[in-house]
Amino acid sequence: MRPVIFASKCLGFENCRWNGMILHSEIVELLRPYVDFISACPEKEIGLGVPRAPVRVIENSKGVFLLQPSTGLDLTEKMDIFSAAIIKTLKKRAVDAFILKEGSPSCGCKNVKHYAKAEQKNTTTKSFGLFGQKITENFPFTALEDEGRLTNFTIREVFLTRLFTTAAFREIRTLGKIKDLAAFQAKNKLLFLAYNETSMRKLGKLAANGAKKRAEETYKAYAEELCNVFKNPAKPGAAVNVLQHAFGYFSKEISIEEKAHYLRQLEKYKKGSLPLSAVTLLTMAYITRFKISYLLEQTFFAPYPESLVTISDSGRGRDSYR
């Protein structure tokens, strides 16, 4: 099943920014062959032209508002109406993730400038855009990032892993069979172990359906716990344990030089100079070469398409996760 992503329309889909421009987003371009995009520009949808005078988020004792300082227009109600309508549509589409415009007073999901007054020069705080806030409130269990943070390879790896895992889960959930859930848990066991051992064990119990609940209830509980798995990156210690476990399957089959090279890459990952994907790709090469069937089935070694693996890193948002 192809993942479904909602993205801000200015991120490579249409010239609809306030200045009439379009933005190039590397992650959006990389994902185009693999996902189905839904896009919209909230500011354009509520009747603002392209180009248009900028809007601002105003936050004071009276509340949070979306204003256009040059015209004095209060656009808060229009944005709320638009948000409610599109959220209703998106819930029917079962969206797997959101990529929103960084810093946008409408779409922004983090670090959006808030002002006490429309004419004020200095910001008072940073928070959500109005549309971004509604998305966060209505899709608390769905992956959500802005395109700026996705230039960080660690954040990008977590996002992509969560995206394709969620889409795979959505596919089996439509069938609603416990045996499919058990198979899903089995092939994701090492992936979940690397990210969150506590959640891995909870998911294992749910997949085993020990409480003998109805399949619908089990899938609902599993979906809620699944979102906890990817709240943080894979823990280096846990991921290294998984990789060392895999190494044991083929270490006797490779040369001394190959062993040394593999262990060097593992050490680089532990020190933070290599992304996890770089080591899992190397591991997958050996797993494929020696046809290790158990490991070939584990999504840990290929959680998303290989062509999406990039090691570019802006360093932005390194220690911040939703």
Looking at residue 314, what is its pLDDT? 56
Same domain? For 296 and 158 the reply is: yes
pLDDT tier at 313, thresholds 50, 70, 90: low
Whether 75 contacts 46, CB under 8 Å: yes
Query: Which token pair is 56?
Result: 């601002």
User: Does residue 195 share a domain with residue 143?
Assistant: no
256-271 helix and 236-250 helix, angle to the nearest 10 degrees? 170
Q: 41 and 130, same structural domain?
A: yes
Q: Are residues 142 and 198 in the same domain?
A: no
**Residue 6: predicted pLDDT:** 98
Taking a C-beta distance cutoff of 8 angstroms, is the pair 295, 248 a contact?
no
Per-residue confidence band for 124, with pLDDT thresholds at 50, 70 and 90: confident
Q: What is the pTM of this model?
A: 0.90
pLDDT at 322: 46
13 and 102 in a common domain: yes
135 assigned to some structural domain: yes
Q: Which domain holds residue 162?
A: 153-322
**Residues forming beta bridges with residue 57, ordered by sequence position:** 66, 114
List 25's β-bridge partners, or say none.
none
pLDDT at 273: 85
SS3 state of residue 3: coil
DSSP 272: T
Domain match, 168 and 130 both: no
Residues 221 and 318 in one domain: yes
**Structural domain includes residue 237:** yes
Max mean pLDDT range (111-120, 295-304, 309-318): 295-304
Tokens encoding 224 = 């809620």
Q: Assess if residue 68 is contained within a domain.
A: no
pLDDT reading at 212 higher than 80: no
Residue 120 maps to a domain: no
Q: Given a cut of 60, is residue 131 above it in pLDDT?
A: yes
pLDDT of residue 119: 83
227, pLDDT greater than 80: yes
Structure tokens at 225: 């716990």
pLDDT at 317: 56
Does residue 175 sit in the same domain as residue 138? no
* Side chain identity, residue 24: H
The answer to whether residue 301 is domain-embedded is yes
Give the position of tokens 């100079």. 273
Verify that 41 and 178 share a domain, yes or no: no
Q: Are 126 and 112 in contact (CB under 8 A)?
A: yes
Sign of the Cα torsion 210, 211, 216, 217 reads negative
Give residue-wise pLDDT tens across range 175-206: 999 999 999 999 999 999 999 999 999 999 99
Whether 15 and 160 share a structural domain: no
Distance CA 269, CA 264 (A): 9
The number of distinct structural domains making up the chain is: 2
**Do 190 and 294 reside in the same domain of the chain?**
yes
Mean pLDDT, the chain, whole residue set: 92
Same domain, residue pair 229 and 242: yes
Token pair of 213, please? 């609940």
